[in-house]
Amino acid sequence: MYYEPFSNGIQTTRTKDTKQLLFRRVDTSSKLTTVVNITYTNKLEIIVTYEDSCVSGSFFPAKLKLNQTPQQQINFQCKKSGRGYLFRRTANQLTSVQIKSDKFELKENFSEWPIDELKKDQFIQQHSNFFKGKGQSDVYEWSRD
């Protein structure tokens, strides 16, 4: 389901097991998926996957610029399935990300994403009984411990 009014390709969904809210953008032409969620320690997590066949555990290098930090060398690691590469990073805030490799280039401005909704949703999950008591019916209980 697309998150309104942010229907510029940003999708919202929940994990099946913990009902954790996450946002994602899928770029089929570049074979990229960018996912943003929140960790149980209240950090924002960005997960970038690149679809390609690979040898499990292998790497390929890329350059990362996250928010206003200096550019740094990173590695994408092939997933156990051998069907794609994965990179994860946590941060206290997300404003932008740029990743450049021989395989693709990704630029994302998170001002277009409803990032604050992630922290709000986590707070509601952690205090689900209070919000259910106020008549909010679509509240999920915290289940990530």
Dig out the tokens for 40 from the structure.
């149980």
Whether 109 shows a pLDDT value over 90: the answer reads yes
Contact 50, 76 (CB under 8 A): yes
What was the pLDDT predicted at 55? 96
pLDDT interval class at 5 (50, 70, 90): very low
Q: pLDDT for 25-84, tens place per residue?
A: 999 899 999 999 988 888 999 999 999 999 999 999 999 999 999 999 999 999 999 999
What was the pLDDT predicted at 74? 98
pLDDT interval class at 20 (50, 70, 90): confident
Task: End-to-end CA distance of the chain: give it in Å, rounded.
Answer: 27
Cα 142 to Cα 19: distance, rounded to the nearest angstrom: 8
The DSSP symbol for 33 reads E
Q: pLDDT for 114-135, tens place per residue?
A: 888 888 877 767 656 665 666 6
What was the pLDDT predicted at 1? 42
Average pLDDT over every residue of 97-102:
97
Query: Which residue matches tokens 């690149």?
Result: 50
Listed in order, strand segments (DSSP E) in 8-145 are: 10-14, 21-27, 32-38, 44-51, 59-66, 72-78, 84-91, 96-100, 105-109
* pTM score over 0.85: no
Q: 44 forms bridges with which residues in the sheet?
A: 38, 91
Listed in order, strand segments (DSSP E) in 52-121 are: 59-66, 72-78, 84-91, 96-100, 105-109
